[in-house]
Structure 1
Amino acid sequence: MSWLSTLGGACSALGDYDTQFAKRAGEISVKQMEIALRLGDPFVMSRCRLYLAISMIQQRRFKGASAIVRYEYHNAHTLPKEARDHRLIKMCHGIWTKLRHERRLHRLSTKINSSRTV
């Protein structure tokens, strides 16, 4: 799991610059989910889904990423306060911020490119 995590993190970091790396990071996240499922660890499973959301953001698949982050945030808050994974909640906040920023940049880029063709 730690090897996949390191590889996934490297691909994810490069995914901001090349969508092929973002796709690879998403594939690694799915493999991590399979392991987490076998281990029966719901918190690791949630983190893997959030890593998948980052990959989706990098691929401009904003609706899917948004759905994952909302789902994980809601799930985290359904647990009693003492059982919540606060790192997971902070991850949701951070990924949501990245999502909003990337969506804004994409809209601006689209607007600029469409005005150039007119």
Structure 2
Amino acid sequence: MGTLKMIIGDRIRFIRNLKGMTLQQLSLATGLQPSYLGDVERGKRNTSLDSLEKIVTALNMKPEDLFEYREVDINSEEFEISSVLEAHNQFLKEKKIEDVKMIHRITKDIFKSIEGNS
């Protein structure tokens, strides 16, 4: 199995799950069969650029988002932190700048409160 197929498939699955979409919902949005999409996510199938474009569009992402990948040791603390940060980053990319600023202020206040109580 090609490593690139696995990376892209993992990334598609990660973003689809992050957005709370099922394979069935992605299938409806792309016109591609759920079984085909599942094979793509598992890196078992080559996908055409046309199909990849449908997937990227349905997930409201940019093509380059498929390649935001770096290897992290799953036993390290960094794995958990990087996973959470990546999920937050994907979530915040879809929000208005005013909302992102508000979330940032709230987060800072929460950490000030936590640090003040310890």
TM-score by length of 2: 0.31
Structure with higher RCO (Cα < 8 A, 6+ apart): 2
TM-score by length of 1: 0.31
Kindly name which structure, 1 or 2, has the bigger radius of gyration based on alpha carbons. 2
Structure ranking higher in helix proportion: 1
